[in-house]
Chains A and B, each alone.
Chain A
Amino acid sequence: QSVLTQPPSASGTPGQRVTISCSGSTSNIGNNIVNWYQQLPGTAPKLLIYNSGQRPSGVPDRFSGSKSGTSASLAISGLQSEDEADYYCAAWDDSLSGYVFGTGTKVTVL
């Protein structure tokens, strides 16, 4: 029962730009920072974007994040085959007093 809504899938050809949306509410995205995780098949999630728009060391600058109101988005520019993975947004939820993840988006490189 995820409270953050993402599109189930997104796709693009190599080199294209893909954007993934994450819709929440004032109790989560609206009042708290958003983080994004990438999960390759059969592996643990990996932190991709934190504090709504910062990249950990080692994450290519092709990945960028933004937030506006109760929504956030992740953009992948210059899509590459190794970007094929599941992507999850996440934030703390003040009403639930817990951490919530998005429903997840599967990115396919055509």
Chain B
Amino acid sequence: QVQLVQSGPEVKQPGASVRVSCKASGYTFTSFFLHWVRQAPGQGLEWMGVMHPNVGTTIYAQRFQGRVSLTRDTSTSTVYMDLSGLRSDDTAVYYCAREKPSSYCFDYWGQGTLVTVSS
């Protein structure tokens, strides 16, 4: 069965960087786009960016340009999301999600990773 398993919670200081991983299993890793979405406490969903693991191409949301980077390791079927210059308003649950082919929707989600930014 399709699974996306994310790394554990992180606590970071303002200005630091964080890396969250998303390990895929149960399907052909290089055939599906993987997106990242975050949700601040009590707030809505916010799209951050997408990667196609086969060729490594990425698209980032404008508001995260220059601060976010998506990379992948095809040998372990893992996508990494790096976010730099952390601020207190980056405190959120970060999700990875697989895109259903040709539908611009996310059919499988990771369990979420809480990133807390605090001094």
Contacts and interface: CB of A to CB of B under 8 A. Distances in A.
Interface of A: 1-2, 32-33, 35, 37, 39, 44-47, 50-51, 56, 88, 90-92, 96-104
Nearest to B93: A44
A92 to B, nearest CB: 5
State the main secondary structure of chain B at its contact with A: strand
Nearest to B107: A47
Interface residues of B, number: 23
State the main secondary structure of chain A at its contact with B: strand
Contact of B47 (A32, A39, A101): A101
22 contacts: A2-B44, A37-B106, A44-B95, A44-B111, A45-B37, A45-B45, A45-B95, A45-B106, A46-B109, A47-B100, A47-B105, A50-B100, A50-B105, A88-B45, A90-B45, A96-B61, A97-B59, A97-B62, A98-B59, A99-B35, A99-B47, A101-B37
